[in-house]
Amino acid sequence: MQKKNYDGYQAFQYLDAGEDLPNFELVEQFDRVPSKQVEVTAEQAERVQNIFDEHLIISLHDHTFVAPKDLSRFLEFRRYGRDHTGYAGLAQSGMDAVFDAMMDGTAMITSRAGWKWDDVVFDIGMRLSDIAHQDMVKLALTTDDIRNAKKNGQIGFVVSLEGAAMIETEVDRIDVLYGMGVRSLGIAYSEGNALGAGLKEPATYGLTAFGRKAVRRMNKLGIAIDISHANDQTSMDTIEASEDPIFITHAGARGLWNSARLKPDEIIKACAERGGVIGIEAAPHTTISQAQPRHTIDSFMEHFEYCVDLVGIDHVAFGPDVLYGDHVGLHHALREALSLSASKGKAEYPEVPYVDGLENPTEAFPNIVRWLVKHGYSDDEIAKAVGGNIMRVLDQVWAR
């Protein structure tokens, strides 16, 4: 992997633990579980290294924070509003940029419901305050920032929000978010909001008149639009309403698994026809299939190949949606807060303790690239999927 300029900084180390910070024991960023590395030959390993050296590696969706070990205290932990970025792990991830989705569904400083304006502003400001105290992870506002991050041994941090509930009916709040560094914004999370319908809502409920106004404002500002958690009608309406290509930052193909959380062929095709990109996600129990109901890197890559066959290599990327900690345990602890029941498919599936090969942000892209090399993809194809396709869209959307 490309060497990053990491000096050992730990999140919020400029504060005094126990005085400025509550005492929470965080999980290890390395080897928390025995997740396997994709095996490659020595010749293939050299190709893998060259790809990391020569091409941009970008995650379209992740949560790079470090969770507490005791998940029974997670909501207490979140009420302090300090997400601890996993700098040590990121230094070995190979990523040159990451769309970090923060944790605003659980930003419950002022409300148990999350997604409130004050909490989101607090969350973004606190996270960027910590990032400003070190030099490896840098706020990315332009595509030049991402390119320069790679040149300088840094990682571009793209502030992303999965839903827009916090703007309520005030379209100018989108400008405020842009001014704070937000460069990717979802229409809705699982719950509907003033813009449109999330996964909980019926298919007859789509993008609202205000939602169309918000889409136009995002186009004018240069914010990438995400429809990952929008329902099917809102997803299609947004694709049609946007002047720019849009992202499905983290999802998979419903053609492989009947889950509302995954996108049907017609939406993936419509997204690609307008120049957009789908990022394949790896959050536990999402990208599985009838052939591979146990969630591993192989079932995840089955969704990648399905989408490539459907719309071509130019419109598929990766948004692993992983974190440092017990992701499955976190889902259990936050099942209602994250509306996970709205995303369940009709078929039963074997629960896994973690997604083997894609357990955290450190191992995700090294294993993805190894898998692609091992399965015969060319360097050019891999370069598109791990960053090039995202940059093509950003060069258009962010050019304002």
pLDDT digit string (tens) for 211-237? Answer: 999 999 999 999 999 999 999 999 999
* Other beta carbons within 10 Å of 298: 15
Tokens 């709040």 correspond to what residue? 173
What pLDDT is stored for residue 108 in this prediction?
79
Amino acid at 84: H
Measured distance CA(62)–CA(160) in Å, rounded:
9
pLDDT band for 341, please (50, 70, 90 cuts).
low
Give the pLDDT mean for 157-164.
97
Measured distance CA(226)–CA(223) in Å, rounded:
10
DSSP 332: H
* Nearest residue to 251 via CA among 282, 273, 225: 282
Length of the chain counted residue by residue: 400
Q: Tell how strand 247-251 and strand 155-161 pair up.
A: unpaired
Amino acid at 110: T
Tokens 């005085």 correspond to what residue? 19
- Euclidean distance between the first and the last CA atom of the chain, given in angstroms as a whole number: 33
* Nearest residue to 24 via CA among 63, 65, 71: 71
Q: Who has greater pLDDT, 79 or 327? A: 327
Tokens 């090039």 correspond to what residue? 388
Q: Is 79 helix (H, G, I), strand (E, B) or coil?
A: helix
In angstroms, what CA-CA distances link 247 with 60, 74, 168, 208, 224?
9, 30, 22, 19, 7
Rg (CA), the chain: 19
pLDDT band for 373, please (50, 70, 90 cuts).
very high
Residue 337, pLDDT above cutoff 70: no
Amino acid at 71: L
CATH tag, 42-397: 3.20.20.140
Measured distance CA(205)–CA(339) in Å, rounded:
18
What pLDDT is stored for residue 192 in this prediction?
92
Measured distance CA(360)–CA(95) in Å, rounded:
12
Is the model's pTM score more than 0.85? yes
CB 58 within 8 A of CB 390: yes
Residue 338, pLDDT above cutoff 70: no
* % of the chain residues with pLDDT over 90: 84
Measured distance CA(197)–CA(250) in Å, rounded:
17
CB 368 within 8 A of CB 318: yes
DSSP 36: P
Q: Who has greater pLDDT, 344 or 369? A: 369
* Other beta carbons within 10 Å of 284: 22
Determine which of 199-203, 271-275, 287-291 has the lowest per-residue pLDDT on average. Answer: 199-203
* Other beta carbons within 10 Å of 339: 17
**How many distinct helices (H) and strands (E) make up the chain?**
14, 9
Give the pLDDT mean for 126-143.
98
Measured distance CA(319)–CA(300) in Å, rounded:
11
